[in-house]
Structure 1
Amino acid sequence: MKETKMYLQIADYIRTSVVDGPGIRQVLFLSGCNFACKGCHNPKLQDFHYGKSMSITDVEKLFTFDKRINRVTFTGGEPMEQAFVLEKLATRLISKGVEDILIYSGYIIEEILSEGDENKIKLLKKCSTLIDGRFEISKKDLRLPFRGSANQRIIDLRKIRSLLVNNPVSQVVRP
């Protein structure tokens, strides 16, 4: 695929954050989400045209490649809506020293696996942690680390890597 055709719709980028996952992280906020969760933390990011369209090369240039900040978070919006290009970006970031990619998604892992979208599964294979589940205002709990509601789960994707390869949905265990 030609480089010029690989674009992401970016809402924002933060060079250092300690609230979007464990450790000091760089955070990429992606635009576009169809879930429209009541009480959404980033309602502007639901718009698929919010922010700006950037080539994968320009997005990569936002990141700092430093051993002290080698963790990244993909959030949104809904990152899975841009899974194809985001997986390509993740590959580039890993090749430059990023050791940990956390991704937020309103989709639960069972939905992603049962849907069988190869792009979403490839993206998960590049990530170390998934925080899954739609925000539910009735389950809002600000005491939870890195989550907004009690239904959302922190899934260590490294521990279930074989499931992402073989994709048997029935083997995914709810933590």
Structure 2
Amino acid sequence: MRIANTVSDSIVDGPGLRFTVFTQGCPHHCSGCHNPNTHDPAGGQEVEVAELAEKMTANPLTDGLTLSGGEPFDQAQACAALAELAKERGLNVWTYTGYTWEKLLEGGDPGVLALLAHTDVLVDGPFVEGLKSYDALFRGSTNQRLIDVPKSLAAGQVVLWQRPDLLAHFTRPES
């Protein structure tokens, strides 16, 4: 797998403590991209999926894996293999893509479908500089969607991810 970098303790690429892999190579070249160094598909470094899996599980406090970019779906098979290992280890998987949900599904590519099958939340759509927002939870611009992939696949249409009500865990039941 060709990657630009990893971050072992991200708190901005999805909920909880995350192991984030920034894939190398991106065809979208979004204006204002915060990772322009990932655009060149010949850049970065080759890393074995097993090596990434070892790093991913080194911290027992890690909640999930985030696949970011670059463009993870341009290396869908390798990303799917890593996502599958994450799921086997009880981690949730978030995948960021400049493609839309609809575009990913239209090709029927087995690698793309495998990555989707092992993704819990898909952040889809290109970054649009004019729609940039610091208030857009886990997104760079407001056009991007947080898609609940298992529910969307089951429903045959996009179902948006709903952030769990964290306060419900800290309130006392009424007596």
1:69 aligns with 2:54: no
List structure 1 segments (4+ residues) > 4 angstroms apart after TM superposition. Answer: none
Aligned counterparts of 1:158 and 1:68: Cα–Cα separation in 2 = 24
1:120 aligns with 2:105: no
SS at structure 2 position matched to 1:162: helix
Residue identity opposite 2:62 in structure 1: I
Show CA shifts across 1:128-170 (max 9, x none): 000000001111112111111111000011212325xxxxxxx
Residue identity opposite 2:55 in structure 1: L
Number of equivalenced pairs? 160
Please tell me whether the aligned partners of residues 151 and 159 of structure 2 are also in contact (alpha carbons under 8 angstroms). no
What RMSD in Å do the two structures reach over aligned CA positions? Answer: 1.6
Deviation of 1:59 (Å): 2.0
2:127 alignment partner in structure 1: 135
1:107 alignment partner in structure 2: 99
Residue identity opposite 1:134 in structure 2: P
Show CA shifts across 1:12-44 (max 9, x none): 111111111111111111100000011111000
1:32 aligns with 2:25: yes
Gaps of 5+ in 2: 161-175
Please tell me whether the aligned partners of residues 13 and 62 of structure 1 are also in contact (alpha carbons under 8 angstroms). no
Residue identity opposite 1:104 in structure 2: Y
Gaps of 5+ in 1: 1-7, 164-170
1:172 alignment partner in structure 2: 157
Aligned counterparts of 1:174 and 1:159: Cα–Cα separation in 2 = 6
Aligned counterparts of 1:144 and 1:137: Cα–Cα separation in 2 = 13
2:47 alignment partner in structure 1: 54
1:4 alignment partner in structure 2: none
From 143, 152, 165, the counterpart of 2:144? 152
Identity of aligned residues (%): 35
Deviation of 1:91 (Å): 1.5
Deviates more, 1:104-113 or 1:52-61: 52-61
Please tell me whether the aligned partners of residues 16 and 63 of structure 2 are also in contact (alpha carbons under 8 angstroms). no
Please tell me whether the aligned partners of residues 8 and 56 of structure 2 are also in contact (alpha carbons under 8 angstroms). yes
SS at structure 2 position matched to 1:58: helix
Residue identity opposite 1:109 in structure 2: W
Aligned counterparts of 1:174 and 1:57: Cα–Cα separation in 2 = 32
SS at structure 2 position matched to 1:77: coil
TM-score scaled by structure 2? 0.85
Deviation of 1:65 (Å): 5.2
